[in-house]
Amino acid sequence: MSFWYTRMNFAEGPASFEVVPDGYAEIIFHFGRGCSIATPDGSRQPLPSPFMVGLLNQPAVFHAPGQLEVIGIRCFPWTVFELLGLPPGQDGVRVLAHPIAQLQALLSGWLQAGNVAEALAQVQRYFLAARPRRASDHLLIQAGGAMRAANGTLPVSQVAAAAHATVRTLERKFKQAAGYTVKDVSGLMRFEQARHQLWLHPAASLAGLAQELGYADQAHLGREFKRYSGTTPAAFARKATRWQQTVSTDFVAFILA
């Protein structure tokens, strides 16, 4: 689990931004003049704070006029529902009716005072207090650790072996915890690595990246990348370059092991 803060200022740029799928679920607190998500019919649905972004199968477009401040809690998809005491599901963005919402006013106060560190520490204390009450399944911890270490490249049989479980037992427990299969999450993990590398290094060789991440070839990388992002790796790299040049952001993060 990790906690992060970012501030984005759209005063001189577009008020919409895109969130691309990855292998995590995140609980999002937001502060500013509001945040909304684009719906398939072209309208915008206002989002309360907090809300949860689960595993996405395509990019989600958010809208935030002016300055937006965000505190996020990043979780593994096989732990987030147990942590919150919620039933698993495949809804990409979920509105939360949860006691954690009581943190909103407190966090807002710390951010208004300019104390980001204390706001993040407040969230950390909440989850440190909540986590011992829930005993995570050791099988899922081992399986998830193996998947993460391999960046989503392990076949299900090897993930099961790392967790000392049968494939059937692993798949059943994983689906019950995450709402998705091991293969679903592994595919997102590998795409996440490709996206991350292109975000940091837009000029990277796509053939080299495909080889590094275990794709069959550059064409395979391109198909998987477009499946999750709706665009090609080259187009995403160009967008990453423009975004970094035009949008001002401040980002702070720390990790709870």
Q: Are residues 18 and 126 in the same domain?
A: yes
79 and 183, same domain (yes or no): no
Are 147 and 182 a contacting pair, CB within 8 Å?
A: yes
Higher pLDDT, 153 or 254: 153
Split at pLDDT 50, 70, 90, the class of 245 is low
The count of structural domains within the chain is 2
pLDDT, tens digit, for every residue of 3-37?
A: 999 998 876 666 888 888 889 999 999 999 899 99
Q: Is the pLDDT of residue 252 over 50?
A: no
- Verify that 186 and 224 share a domain, yes or no: yes
Distance of alpha carbon 46 from alpha carbon 238, whole angstroms: 30
Q: Are residues 93 and 170 in the same domain?
A: no
pLDDT of residue 256: 47
Torsion of Cα atoms, 188 then 60 then 47 then 251, to 10°: 70
Structure tokens at 131: 């986590």
Q: Report the CATH number that the domain containing residue 229 is assigned in CATH.
A: 1.10.10.60
Please determine, for residue 77, whether its predicted confidence score (pLDDT) is greater than 90: yes
Closest CA to 87 of 133, 57, 56, 52: 52
- If asked whether residues 85 and 200 sit together in one domain, one would say no
Sheet with strand 16-19: strands edge to edge: 16-19, 60-63, 36-38, 44-46
As a whole number of angstroms, the distance between CA 64 and CA 48 comes to 13
228 and 143 share a domain? yes
Q: Which domain holds residue 130?
A: 2-135+246-255
**In 3D, which of 23, 71, 51 has the Cα closest to residue 252?**
71
CATH value at residue 60: 2.60.120
When pLDDT is averaged across residues 207-236 and rounded to a whole number, the result is 91
Q: Model confidence over 82-102: pLDDT tens digits?
A: 888 889 988 889 998 889 999
- pTM listed for this prediction: 0.84
145 and 106 in one domain?
Answer: no
Paired tokens of 102: 């009581």
E strand map for 35-153: 36-38, 44-46, 51-53, 60-63, 67-75, 93-95
Predicted pLDDT at 37: 94
- Together in a domain, 232 and 163: yes
9 and 107 fall within a common domain: yes
Residues 97 and 114 in one domain: yes
Residue corresponding to tokens 């989503």: 152
Clarify whether residues 43 and 107 are in a common domain. Answer: yes
Question: What's the distance, CA 153 to chain centroid?
Answer: 18
Quote the tokens at residue 91: 């809804």
147 and 71 in a common domain: no
Integer CA distances (angstroms), 16 to 31, 64, 122, 247, in order? 16, 6, 29, 11
Q: Which amino acid appears at position 134 of this protein?
A: R
